[in-house]
């Protein structure tokens, strides 16, 4: 009987030596995988002087699990997962996620991960608890509000503009109650804490709106694991479908949501595709209401335009696009430029 190969597990920080990262990239490429840019640390598996496995960690998301072809069937991926989980726990991350190809579902289930949502044959999102999404929904149920028409909006608000306020006002007017979710991930120009503060201030005049801090079940496109999907179109499709399915199957029922409100999208093709996915997957379950964007001086208001104007310090034009509460925040950050 052939002896099981001796494996030495090591930690490699992404900002460390280029030589070790080159070896990791080569191993990933041999498995048909890329390397997501937000990974900070890898657990490496070495057999002698040869790298035979790796698993990456980006905060509490496990990515880029790969094993040398010659060692597959030796239970190395399970051992790698155990090592990277220990690393995550040591860094204070107890609730872990991973996203992988659906063909790997059974392998990761054997290692203690449970499916949350799946996008066809493209991707499946999993977590290291059988009750994570149910626990989150129970917390949402404490903020349930009665009504025949209960609406929802999900926004990044980077930053909160008059366009965002118009969308919220129109939705609040059309509903008995409105739930407003602010995307949580800090992958935007403005940090989550600032975006949340601006949203709360911008809708404070509306009495039938609950502002929710986003969770990891409201997935940011910027942080969606894409290392195993080569085509950009498939990445967008997988992110859109998983995000919308979690909303449809879990978040909406917990809050009794009947309508989802979105702004029309004249600029961003990715957002347009996301809106189309929403129409398709929510049909028959939740009514999608698309609200036309408002315009200022002839052009539709957008947060990306506000950010562009910030770079060139065009505050008089920004003043036309954002509420007083947002402008006061920008003024405090860029006082010298405003003056």
Distances (CA, A) of 295 to 301, 306, 310: 6, 13, 19
User: Tokens at residue 222, please?
Assistant: 């910027």
pLDDT band with cut points at 50, 70 and 90 for residue 57: very high
Residue 208 near residue 246, CB atoms below 8 Å: no
Whether 182 shows a pLDDT value over 70: the answer reads: yes
DSSP class of residue 187 equals -
Tell me the per-residue pLDDT of 238-284, one tens digit each, with 9 for 90 and over: 999 999 999 999 999 999 999 999 998 777 788 888 999 999 999 99
In this prediction, residue 1 has a pLDDT band, given cuts at 50, 70 and 90, of: very low
pLDDT higher than threshold 70 for residue 338? no
Could you tell me the fold of the domain covering 8-94? Aminopeptidase (3.40.630)
% residues pLDDT > 90 (the chain): 76
Domains of the chain, by residue range, sit at 8-94, 134-338
Give which of 71, 72, 77, 75 is closest to 43, Cα–Cα: 77
**pLDDT at position 337:** 65
**Percent of the chain residues topping a pLDDT of 70:** 96
Tens-place pLDDT, residues 186-195: 877 999 999 9
Among 217, 51, 189, 21, CA closest to 126 = 217
Residues whose CB is less than 8 angstroms from the CB of residue 100 and which lie 6 or more positions away in sequence, other chains included: 65, 108, 123, 124, 126, 228
| Preceding omega of 275 cis (within 30 degrees of 0) | no
What predicted TM-score, i.e. pTM, was given to this entire model? Answer: 0.92
The DSSP secondary structure of 290-321, one letter per residue, reads EEPPPEETTEE--HHHHHHHHHTT-HHHHHTT
Q: What is the mean pLDDT of residues 311-316?
A: 90
pLDDT score, position 203? 98
On whether the 134-338 domain is CATH 3.40.50.1820, my answer is no
| pLDDT tens digit sequence for 195-247 | 999 999 999 999 999 999 999 999 887 778 888 987 878 999 999 999 999 99
Burial class (CB in 10 A: 0-12, 13-18, 19+), 322: buried
- Tens-digit pLDDT profile for residues 295-304: 877 677 889 9
- Average pLDDT of 106-113? 94
Average pLDDT over every residue of 54-69: 94
């Amino acid at each position: 009987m052939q002896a099981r190969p001796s494996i030495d597990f090591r930690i490699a920080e992404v900002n460390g030596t280029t030589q070790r990262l080159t070896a990791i990239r080569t191993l990933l490429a041999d498995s048909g995988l890329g390397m997501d840019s937000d990974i900070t640390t890898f657990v490496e598996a070495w057999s002698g002087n040869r790298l035979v496995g790796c698993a990456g960690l980006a905060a509490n998301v496990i990515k880029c699990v790969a094993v040398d072809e010659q060692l597959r069937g030796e239970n190395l991926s399970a051992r790698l997962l155990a090592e990277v989980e220990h690393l995550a726990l040591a860094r204070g991350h107890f609730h872990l996620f991973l996203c992988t190809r659906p063909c790997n579902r059974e392998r990761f289930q054997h290692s203690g991960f449970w499916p949350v949502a799946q996008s066809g044959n493209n991707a499946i999102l999993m977590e290291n608890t059988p009750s994570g999404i149910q626990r989150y929904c129970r917390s949402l149920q404490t903020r349930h509000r009665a009504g025949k028409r209960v609406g929802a909006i999900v926004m990044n608000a980077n930053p909160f503009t008059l366009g965002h306020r118009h969308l919220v006002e129109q939705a609040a007017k059309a509903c008995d109650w409105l739930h407003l979710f602010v995307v949580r991930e800090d992958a935007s120009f403005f940090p989550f804490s600032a975006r949340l503060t601006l949203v709360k201030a911008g809708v404070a005049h509306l009495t039938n709106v609950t502002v929710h801090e986003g969770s990891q079940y409201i997935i940011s496109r910027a942080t969606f694991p894409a290392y195993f999907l080569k085509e950009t179109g498939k990445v967008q499709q997988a992110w859109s479908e998983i995000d919308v399915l979690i909303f449809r199957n879990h978040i909406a029922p917990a809050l009794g949501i009947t309508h989802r409100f979105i702004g029309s999208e004249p600029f961003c093709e990715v957002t347009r595709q996301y809106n189309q996915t929403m129409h398709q997957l929510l049909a028959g379950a939740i009514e999608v209401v698309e609200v036309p964007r408002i315009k200022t001086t002839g052009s539709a208001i957008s947060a990306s335009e506000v950010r562009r104007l910030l770079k060139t310090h065009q505050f008089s034009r920004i003043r036309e696009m954002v509420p007083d509460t947002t402008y006061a925040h920008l003024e405090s950050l860029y006082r010298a430029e405003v003056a």
